[in-house]
Amino acid sequence: MKRACLFAMLTANISAEKLTYPDSHPKPLSEKIHGIDVSDDYRWLEDLNSKQTAEWVKAQNTVTEGYLNKIPGRDKLEKHLTNIWNVERISAPSKKGGRYFFHRNDGLQDQSVFYTTKDLKKKPKVLFDPNKLSGDGTVALKDISISHNGKYMAYSLSASGSDWVEWKVRDIDTGKDLSDHLKWSKFSDATWSGDNKGFYYGRFPTPKKGEEMMAANTDKKIYYHKLGTAQSEDTLVYERPDHPKWGLYTGLTDDKRFLIIHISQGTDTKNGLFYKDLSKPDSKVIELFNKFDASYSLAGNIDSKFLIQTDHDAPRQKLVSVDLAKPETSNWKTIIPQTAETLDGVSYVGGILIAEYMKDAHSQVRRFKVDGSPLPDLELPGLGTAYSIGGKPDDKEFFYGFTSFTTPGTIYHYEVASNKSTLYRAPNTKFNQNDYKSSQIFATSKDGTKVPMFVVHKKGIKLDGSNPTYLYAYGGFNISLTPSYRASNIAWLDMGGIYVLANLRGGGEYGEEWHQAGMKTKKQNVFDDFIACAEHLIAKKYTSSPRLAIAGGSNGGLLVGACLTQRPELYGACLPAVGVMDMLRFQKFTIGWAWQAEYGFPDKNADEFKYLLGYSPYHNLKKGTKYPATMVTTSDHDDRVVPSHSFKFAAALQAAQAGDAPSLIRIETKAGHGAGTPTSKQIEQVVDKYSFLSKALGFEIKL
């Protein structure tokens, strides 16, 4: 009887308020693809420049804002969240040309400020404050590259969250910008030449007017820009017109002898690695690895021997030495062999090799001599994630960061010779870390695979099925989710919630085999893993379906959309963010074509098309179904996953919904895929999200 009453209470969480949604004007459209008729009644929402789309966006936001603003407790939540957020955040200092460089945010600044100093014990100098670029904080400092001599800073700016950036150069001594101004760059760093007179960078052809946010990004080229010259005078260094979809990225060896060109084919982890010997005039680009049979990345070099991290015959990665004079695999020398843990990265610093590993999705750091002989490990302060580990071969020290679910980014100073870490800077949190508990549990997926989850909550909660639970995952592109601090998560825990981070197949937590088990025609494994995690949390009474929210962004938005359509009764609320929702047309916009290596080729491969159609969130919404409370989120300037994915999905969901649960879409303006979003907007987004969940899951905001 008690259990029945509990579930009656929980299932009454959605207000019977009937929402009136804007007319999404379905325009019947059907096309035959690989012999199958496919409907796309909301394709008109792909025209992001049309007046009709703009009116639809405005009308949807009006409905969503009206709904959210009526939810009680929002003011308390915003005040509490702002208080937690208002803590100094600092990056690990790096060193170039006798100067230290780092980012710092005093807590509530919309964008972090970039500083420099020659002495960390003295007051640093503000080198760049992006908060002065725009009144609303929507112009962000994207990437920074310091010249080897520490005299110049090449930096890129992104407006309204777009992936497009413009490069400029600042004189570090004077703090003034030079005349250099480069446009139409995207997915590119600035690689300084050894003489500090210029840098290499990648750019795309100028898109047609009006197509900047939608047109496919192809034909990337590598240029060399000499300081003080116009972009029109840049020297073309490398292009591949025979492979317009190759991604080209540059790097420079620490001895400044070799220009490295990393070649990607979409988002495939298998890549090419080429080099150009800059010590020889007019030297050609040498294709060191051009078979695209494995992943290859340069960890460092000792003269003409490259230290290469690779998953060639080692799905969890290894480090090998490759002699450029005889680079055949038969001549490779294994320096660090594959282990049970996944090798995440290797740095050649201070004359030794420092290797970062993942063990069940958390960090371990091991050290080796350059011949592979083991040295004592670098001990970390706990179960969490280490970051910014590394430096130059002659560095005697470096700074690195450590974070966990309840530990904000904490910076340590590390001495290579003594293997000693000393606390450098720790934030003064507004909460007691000892009030919370983090643990790792495992669910069993449909095919028997063990899937790890991190579970975080306040100590003393009761496992009676009543806890509001936020289950988050990604599951794709070889991306690993590891423990990290978010002020928003602490606020959720303080609201009485449980936060769960699931490590699904498709990610990189257990190496390339784990990744491949969740891609292309094995993508359903990812959804099965997520569903298994939800079912496990319910079975163990952490929560119950009416109190369970699932969330994810980008590829994780696809995950939420697919699981919503496959098991709508399993969740109380769904939060798909900037998701890939139309799996038949994702390849037609901006960089979407690159994801075909992960998802499949719907235009070229009939079998992959049918598989994609089988789970595409947009195409699998069924009219007359009672879907859980859902708030789709996207941004009008997202030129990575174009917002039309979310627009079309939300329109179709509103038309299909047979229950009383809300089907809302929240469209952020002057924002993109997420990176560079100002602090003020981030807080607004979290308040809206948690307010929505409090009503959807049926609990009061008490803080």
pLDDT of residue 602: 98
What value does the mean pLDDT of the chain take?
A: 94
Q: Residue 156 class from Cβ within 10 Å (0-12 exposed, 13-18 middle, 19+ buried)? A: buried
Judged by DSSP in three states, 354 sits in strand
User: Residue 10: what pLDDT?
Assistant: 44
List the catalytic residues: 554, 673
Q: Break the chain into its structural domains and give their ranges.
A: 23-83+432-696, 346-429
In the prediction, which pLDDT does 636 show? 79
**CB–CB of 370/351 below 8 Å?**
yes
- Residue found under tokens 């235009």: 603
At residue 283, does pLDDT exceed 70?
yes
- Spatial CB neighbours of 314, under 8 Å, sequence gap ≥ 6: 337, 338
What is the C-alpha separation between 438 and 455, in angstroms, rounded? 6
Size of the chain in residues:
703
Q: Can you give 239-303 as a three-state secondary structure string?
A: CCCCCCCEEEEEEECCCCCEEEEEEEECCCCCEEEEEEECCCCCCCEEEEECCCCCCEEEEEEEC
What is the DSSP secondary structure assignment for residue 625, as one 8-state letter? B
Q: What local confidence, expressed as pLDDT, does residue 673 receive?
A: 52
pLDDT digits (tens, 9 = 90+) for 657-691: 999 999 999 998 765 554 567 899 999 999 999 99
The predicted pLDDT at position 7 comes to 38
- Please give the Cα distance from 118 to 1 (Å, whole number): 70
CA angle 268, 646, 19 (to 5 degrees): 155
Token pair listed for 293? 């049979």
Q: How far apart are CA 470 and CA 466, in angstroms?
A: 13
Q: Would you tell me which CATH number, out of the four given (3.30.420.40, 3.10.20.30, 3.40.50.1820, 3.40.190.10), belongs to the domain 23-83+432-696? A: 3.40.50.1820
Band of the pLDDT at 637, cuts 50, 70, 90?
low
pTM of this structure: 0.91
Supply the pLDDT for residue 178.
Answer: 98
How many C-beta atoms lie closer than 10 Å to residue 408's C-beta? 23
Q: Strand 397-403: give its sheet, edge to edge.
A: 385-387, 397-403, 410-415, 420-425
Q: What is the pLDDT of residues 123-162, one digit of tens each?
A: 999 999 999 987 776 678 899 999 999 999 999 998 876 8
Judged against a pLDDT cut of 60, whether residue 4 lies above it is answered with no
pLDDT class for 212, splitting at 50, 70, 90?
A: confident
| 383 CA to centre of own chain | 21
Model confidence over 236-257: pLDDT tens digits? 999 999 999 999 999 999 999 9
* pLDDT score of 555 more than 90: yes
Rounded to 5 degrees, what are φ and ψ at 399?
-115, 145
The residue type at 237: V
Mean pLDDT of 192-207: 96
Note the pLDDT of residue 483: 98
pLDDT of residue 562 exceeding 60, the answer is yes
Which residue in this structure is represented by tokens 């379906």?
545
Paired with 276 in beta bridges are: 259, 285
324 vs 591, more confident:
324
